[in-house]
A and B are shown apart, each in its own frame.
Chain A
Amino acid sequence: MSILGSLDLNDVFIVPFLKEPTLSTGIAAGAGGIVVLGALAVALLLTVKGWWKPLWSEWLTSLDHKKIGVMYVVLAAIMLIRGVLEAVVMRAQQVSPAPGFLSVEHHAELFSTHGTIMIFFVAMPFLTGVINVVMPLQIGARDMEFPFMNAVSLWLSVGGAALVMASLVVGHFETGGWTAYPPYTGIKLSPNEGVDYWIWSLALTSVGTTLSGINFAVTIYKQRAPGMDLMKMPIFAWTTLCTAILMIFAMMPLTVASFMLALDRHAGFHFFTASNGGNMMNFANMFWLFGHPEVYILILPAFGVFSHVIPTFSGKKLYGYTSLVWATIAIAVLSFTVWVHHFFTMGQTANLNAIFGIATMTIGVPTGVKVFNWLLTMWRGKLRFSTAMLFSAGFMFTFVIGGITGVMLANPTIDFATHNSLFLVAHFHNMLIPGLLFGMFAAVNYWFPLAFGFRLDETWGRRSFWFWMIGFYLAFMPLYAIGLMGAPRRMAFFTDPAYFPWLVVAMIGALCVLAGLTSQVIQIWVSVKNRESLMVPAGDPWDGRGLEWSLGCPVPEYDFTTVPHITSREPWVDAKAAGKRVMDPTEFVDIHLPKPTGMPILVAGVATVGAFALIFEMWLIAAVCFVAMWVLVLIRSYDTDWEETITAEELREGYEAHKRLVETTPKVSLDDEFTSKNRGLILEEAV
Chain B
Amino acid sequence: MLFHDLYKRPSRYAVPALMAVTAVWLSGCAENGVMTPLGPVAAGERSHLISFFLWMLPISLPLLVGTPWIALRYRRRGGKGKYDPNWSHSVAAETAIWGGATLTFLIVGWLTWGHVMGEDPYKPTGKDPIHVQVIGSEWKWMFIYPDKMATVNKLVLPQHTPVVFDITATGAMQSFWIPRLAGQIYAMPGMGTKMNLTTGDTSEIFGFNSQFNGAAFPLDKFEVDVVTKEQYDAFLQEPKHPWAQLEAAFKKTATWSGPELFEPPMKDYWMKVMMNPSIATDGGAAILPDNSPAQKAIDKAINQDLHLSQLNGGAQ
Q: Which of A182, A184, A192, A349 contacts B214 (CB 8 A)?
A: A184
Say whether B30 contacts A485, CB under 8 Å.
Answer: yes
Q: Which chain A residue shows the least CB distance to B277?
A: A274
Q: A residues 617-661 with Cβ under 8 Å of B?
A: none
Q: Which residues from chain B contact A257 at a C-beta distance below 8 Å?
A: none
Q: Which residues from chain B contact A77 at a C-beta distance below 8 Å?
A: none
In whole angstroms, how far apart are the Cα atoms of A408 and B55 in the complex? 10
Say whether A486 contacts B179, CB under 8 Å.
Answer: yes
In whole angstroms, how far apart are the Cα atoms of A498 and B62 in the complex? 34
Shortest Cβ distance from residue B182 to the other chain A in the assembled complex, whole angstroms: 7
Q: Which chain B residue shows the least CB distance to A403?
A: B60
Q: A residues 356-373 with Cβ under 8 Å of B?
A: 357-358, 361-362, 364-366, 368-369, 371-373
Say whether B85 contacts A183, CB under 8 Å.
Answer: no
Would you call B276 an interface residue if the criterion is a C-beta within 8 Å of the partner chain's C-beta atoms?
Answer: yes
Q: Which of A189, A401, A487 contacts B171 (CB 8 A)?
A: A189
Would you call A78 an interface residue if the criterion is a C-beta within 8 Å of the partner chain's C-beta atoms?
Answer: no
Shortest Cβ distance from residue A650 to the other chain B in the assembled complex, whole angstroms: 38
Q: Which of A98, A358, A404, A501 contacts B24 (CB 8 A)?
A: A501
Q: Which residues from chain B contact A379 at a C-beta distance below 8 Å?
A: 70, 74, 81, 87
Q: Which residues from chain A contact B175 at a C-beta distance below 8 Å?
A: 345, 419-420
Q: Which chain A residue shows the least CB distance to B121?
A: A416
Q: Which residues from chain B contact A401 at a C-beta distance below 8 Å?
A: 60, 64
Q: Which of B56, B71, B216 contacts A104 (CB 8 A)?
A: B216
Tally of contact residues, A, Cβ under 8 A: 114
Q: Which residues from chain A contact B247 at a C-beta distance below 8 Å?
A: none
Say whether A372 contacts B63, CB under 8 Å.
Answer: yes
Say whether A350 contacts B172, CB under 8 Å.
Answer: no
Q: Which of B67, B115, B214 contacts A375 (CB 8 A)?
A: B67
Would you call B19 an interface residue if the criterion is a C-beta within 8 Å of the partner chain's C-beta atoms?
Answer: no
- Given the known inter-chain contacts A104-B217, A492-B218, A498-B29, please indicate yes or no for A315 contacting B76, CB distance below 8 A: yes
In whole angstroms, how far apart are the Cα atoms of A462 and B143 in the complex? 57
Say whether B183 contacts A417, CB under 8 Å.
Answer: yes
In whole angstroms, how far apart are the Cα atoms of A343 and B70 in the complex? 39
Q: Which residues from chain A contact B24 at a C-beta distance below 8 Å?
A: 501
From B25, B27, B184, B283, name the one whose CB has the most chain A CB atoms within 10 angstroms: B184
Say whether A396 contacts B190, CB under 8 Å.
Answer: no
Interface string of B282-309 (1 = CB under 8 A from A): 0111111111000100110011011001
Say whether A419 contacts B184, CB under 8 Å.
Answer: yes
Say whether B67 contacts A397, CB under 8 Å.
Answer: yes
Q: Which residues from chain A contact B118 at a C-beta distance below 8 Å?
A: 413
Would you call B10 an interface residue if the criterion is a C-beta within 8 Å of the partner chain's C-beta atoms?
Answer: no
Shortest Cβ distance from residue B288 to the other chain A in the assembled complex, whole angstroms: 7
Say whether A495 contacts B74, CB under 8 Å.
Answer: no
Shortest Cβ distance from residue B65 to the other chain A in the assembled complex, whole angstroms: 10
Which of A15-23, A40-48, A150-158 is the interface stretch?
A15-23
Q: Which residues from chain A contact B122 at a C-beta distance below 8 Å?
A: 347, 349-350
Q: Which of A184, A381, A419, A491 contacts B183 (CB 8 A)?
A: A419
Would you call B97 an interface residue if the criterion is a C-beta within 8 Å of the partner chain's C-beta atoms?
Answer: yes
Say whether B34 contacts A418, CB under 8 Å.
Answer: yes
Q: A residues 483-542 with Cβ under 8 Å of B?
A: 483-493, 495-502
In whole angstroms, how far apart are the Cα atoms of A368 and B98 in the complex? 9
Say whether B286 contacts A189, CB under 8 Å.
Answer: yes
- Given the known inter-chain contacts A372-B97, A393-B71, A416-B185, please indicate yes or no for A275 contacting B32, CB distance below 8 A: no
Say whether B79 contacts A382, CB under 8 Å.
Answer: yes
Say whether B217 contacts A491, CB under 8 Å.
Answer: yes
Which of A80-88, A260-268, A317-325, A582-590 is the interface stretch?
A317-325
Say whether A411 contacts B52, CB under 8 Å.
Answer: yes
Q: Which residues from chain A contact B299 at a C-beta distance below 8 Å?
A: 103
In whole angstroms, how far apart are the Cα atoms of A316 and B170 in the complex? 61
Q: Which chain A residue shows the least CB distance to B183?
A: A416
Q: Which of A317, A347, A491, A500 contacts B88 (CB 8 A)?
A: A317
Interface string of A253-290 (1 = CB under 8 A from B): 00000000000000000000011001111000000000
From B84, B112, B190, name the one whose CB has the most chain A CB atoms within 10 angstroms: B112
Q: Which residues from chain A contact B244 at a C-beta distance below 8 Å?
A: none
Say whether A415 contacts B183, CB under 8 Å.
Answer: yes
Which of A173-181, A213-221, A229-237 is the interface stretch?
A173-181
Q: Which residues from chain B contact A314 at a C-beta distance below 8 Å?
A: 74
In whole angstroms, how far apart are the Cα atoms of A279 and B298 in the complex? 30
In whole angstroms, how far apart are the Cα atoms of A489 and B177 in the complex? 13
Q: Which residues from chain A contact B68 at a C-beta distance below 8 Å?
A: 397
Inter-chain contact total with CB atoms closer than 8 Å: 367
Would you call B262 an interface residue if the criterion is a C-beta within 8 Å of the partner chain's C-beta atoms?
Answer: no
Q: Which of A278, A383, A414, A497 contacts B48 (CB 8 A)?
A: A414
Shortest Cβ distance from residue A683 to the other chain B in the assembled complex, whole angstroms: 12
Would you call B235 an interface residue if the criterion is a C-beta within 8 Å of the partner chain's C-beta atoms?
Answer: no
Say whether A190 contacts B287, CB under 8 Å.
Answer: yes
Q: Which residues from chain A contact B183 at a C-beta distance below 8 Å?
A: 345, 413, 415-419
Interface string of A207-230 (1 = CB under 8 A from B): 000000000000000000000000
Say whether A413 contacts B44, CB under 8 Å.
Answer: yes
Shortest Cβ distance from residue B76 to the other chain A in the assembled complex, whole angstroms: 4
- Given the known inter-chain contacts A496-B316, A501-B28, please indicate yes or no for A361 contacting B116, CB distance below 8 A: no
In whole angstroms, how far apart are the Cα atoms of A319 and B120 in the complex? 43
Would you call B14 an interface residue if the criterion is a C-beta within 8 Å of the partner chain's C-beta atoms?
Answer: no
Q: B residues 76-112 with Cβ under 8 Å of A?
A: 76, 79, 81-90, 93-94, 97-98, 100-102, 104-105, 108-109, 111-112
Which of B127-135, B150-158, B205-213, B222-230 is the interface stretch?
B205-213
Q: Which residues from chain A contact B46 at a C-beta distance below 8 Å?
A: 417
From B42, B116, B194, B286, name the one whose CB has the most chain A CB atoms within 10 angstroms: B116
Q: Which of B32, B74, B111, B212 contacts A382 (CB 8 A)?
A: B74
In whole angstroms, how far apart are the Cα atoms of A490 and B89 in the complex? 47
Say whether B290 contacts A354, CB under 8 Å.
Answer: no
Q: Which chain A residue shows the least CB distance to B75?
A: A383
In whole angstroms, how far apart are the Cα atoms of A345 and B121 in the complex? 10
Would you call B193 an interface residue if the criterion is a C-beta within 8 Å of the partner chain's C-beta atoms?
Answer: yes
In whole angstroms, how far apart are the Cα atoms of A365 and B107 in the complex? 12
Say whether A353 contacts B116, CB under 8 Å.
Answer: yes
Q: Which residues from chain B contact A192 at a C-beta distance below 8 Å?
A: 285, 287
Q: A residues 184-215 with Cβ under 8 Å of B?
A: 184, 188-192, 194
Interface string of A470-492 (1 = CB under 8 A from B): 00000000000011111111111
Would you call B278 an interface residue if the criterion is a C-beta within 8 Å of the partner chain's C-beta atoms?
Answer: yes
Say whether A396 contacts B34, CB under 8 Å.
Answer: no
Would you call B315 an interface residue if the criterion is a C-beta within 8 Å of the partner chain's C-beta atoms?
Answer: yes
In whole angstroms, how far apart are the Cα atoms of A19 and B290 in the complex? 10
Q: Which residues from chain B contact A364 at a C-beta distance below 8 Å?
A: 101, 104-105
Shortest Cβ distance from residue B277 to the other chain A in the assembled complex, whole angstroms: 5
Would you call B123 an interface residue if the criterion is a C-beta within 8 Å of the partner chain's C-beta atoms?
Answer: yes
Q: Which residues from chain A contact B100 at a C-beta distance below 8 Å?
A: 368
Would you call B3 an interface residue if the criterion is a C-beta within 8 Å of the partner chain's C-beta atoms?
Answer: no
Say whether B215 contacts A105, CB under 8 Å.
Answer: yes
In whole angstroms, how far apart are the Cα atoms of A189 and B277 in the complex? 14
Say whether A19 contacts B74, CB under 8 Å.
Answer: no
Say whether B277 contacts A358, CB under 8 Å.
Answer: no
Leading 10 A-B pairs by shortest Cβ distance: A416-B183, A498-B30, A486-B33, A347-B193, A274-B189, A486-B32, A420-B210, A184-B172, A350-B120, A417-B34
Q: Which B residues contact A (CB, under 8 angstroms)?
A: 24-25, 27-35, 42, 44-46, 48-49, 52-53, 56-57, 59-60, 62-64, 66-68, 70-71, 74-76, 79, 81-90, 93-94, 97-98, 100-102, 104-105, 108-109, 111-113, 115-123, 138, 170-173, 175, 177, 179-180, 182-186, 188-191, 193-194, 208, 210-218, 276-278, 283-291, 295, 298-299, 302-303, 305-306, 309, 314-316
New A-B contacts (4) at CB < 8 Å, excluding given A316-B84, A411-B115, A417-B33:
A190-B287, A281-B188, A347-B193, A393-B67
Q: Which A residues contact B (CB, under 8 angstroms)?
A: 10, 16, 19-20, 22, 24-25, 98-99, 103-105, 108, 175-177, 181-184, 188-192, 194, 274-275, 278-281, 314-321, 323, 343, 345-347, 349-350, 353-354, 357-358, 361-362, 364-366, 368-369, 371-373, 375-385, 393, 396-397, 400-401, 403-404, 407-408, 410-421, 482-493, 495-502, 670
